[in-house]
Homo-oligomer: A and B are copies of this chain.
Amino acid sequence: MRIIRSIHGYQAWRRQHENEEIGFVPTMGALHEGHLSLIRRARKHCSKVVVSIFVNPLQFAPTEDLSRYPRPVKSDQQLCREAGIDLLFRPSHEEFYPEDFQTSVKVNRLSQRWEGEARPTHFEGVATVVTKLLCLVRPHRAFFGQKDYQQLLVIKQLVRDLNLATTIVRCPTIRESDGLALSSRNRYLSASERMQAAGVSVALRQGKQAIRLGKRQVSTIERDMKKVLGKLKGLDIEYVAVCDAHNLEPLTNAKGSIVLLAAVRLGHVRLIDNMLVKV
């Protein structure tokens, strides 16, 4: 595994591999089984696998957890090595966003609701860093987890809108045995919060099951999911929603391709999760 830290270094490597099928897994580090599943998928489909680790300040609000976001550099490198990737790209903040950096990319409609409401500058930060990474890395395929579903839609949209030559591959959410979706932020949870956290996936699964069993009225489905979440100690609901899986507009009747979204707070930790269902 090569480790490259400079943009020019990466560009030189890329030019030497023009005839390879490049798979790309962009991450903010603090790698877990979710990231490793993306890497495995990339290895299966591509002849070279590039992983980037870059904690992108643009997608954090000033009040958020940028400074305490975990950065376990050594163990991340070890995990990448064991996963058999070809190149680890770890750009420095100074080179990636030099002082005169001033371009931003925005995906207007898809960024407005849900996470966009809770975190108003978040998706502009995501869209900017992902556009920059895709233009620089020039992968044939890039692999993203379904866990951050709205992010996935934002990225698919910008790739389509800007005609980037990359296919975005959605990969399934990886869960703990009790159903909690893997996330680098799970490590912030206290033992008791960790116990409650699994309830988010329980509520979503129940909503999904209700739809599968024929329930159609979204207000009832959402109320039942909120009831499940309401029983969890110390958990505050930010939103629970049953939406069109393509454009994230809220539905009144469950029909077509549906995504169930949930965002909650457990103490200082914000958790999101989602499930897809088709009827």
Q: Say which one of A130-138, A173-181, A207-215, A237-245 lies at the interface with B.
A: A130-138
Copies of this subunit: 2
Chain A positions 5-41 with a Cβ under 8 Å from a chain B Cβ: 7, 11, 18
A104 an interface residue at 8 Å Cβ cutoff?
A: yes
Measured CA separation A109–B104 after assembly (Å):
11
Q: Is the CB of A132 within 8 A of B162?
A: yes
Q: Is the CB of A101 within 8 A of B132?
A: no
Residue numbers in B under 8 Å from A108 (CB-CB): 102-104
Contact with B along A152-166 (1 / 0, CB 8 A): 000001100111110
Residues A158 and B127 in contact in the complex (CB < 8 Å), given A7-B163, A163-B132, A163-B136: no
A205 at the interface (CB under 8 A from B): no
Q: Within A70-127, which residues are at the interface with B (CB < 8 Å)?
A: 100-110, 127
Residues of chain B contacted by A247 (CB below 8 angstroms): 100
Complex contacts, A157 vs chain B, CB 8 Å: 100, 102-103
A103 touches B135 (CB 8 A): no
Please pick, from B18, B103, B109, B161, the residue contacting A158 in the complex, using a CB distance under 8 A: B103
Residues of B within 8 A of A110 (CB): 102
Partner of A135, one of B107, B109, B164: B164
Cβ of A104 and Cβ of B105 under 8 Å apart? yes
Q: Can you give 21 contacting A-B residue pairs, CB < 8 Å? A: A11-B165, A100-B109, A100-B157, A102-B107, A102-B109, A102-B110, A102-B157, A103-B105, A103-B107, A103-B108, A103-B161, A103-B162, A105-B105, A106-B106, A132-B162, A135-B135, A135-B162, A135-B163, A135-B164, A136-B162, A136-B163
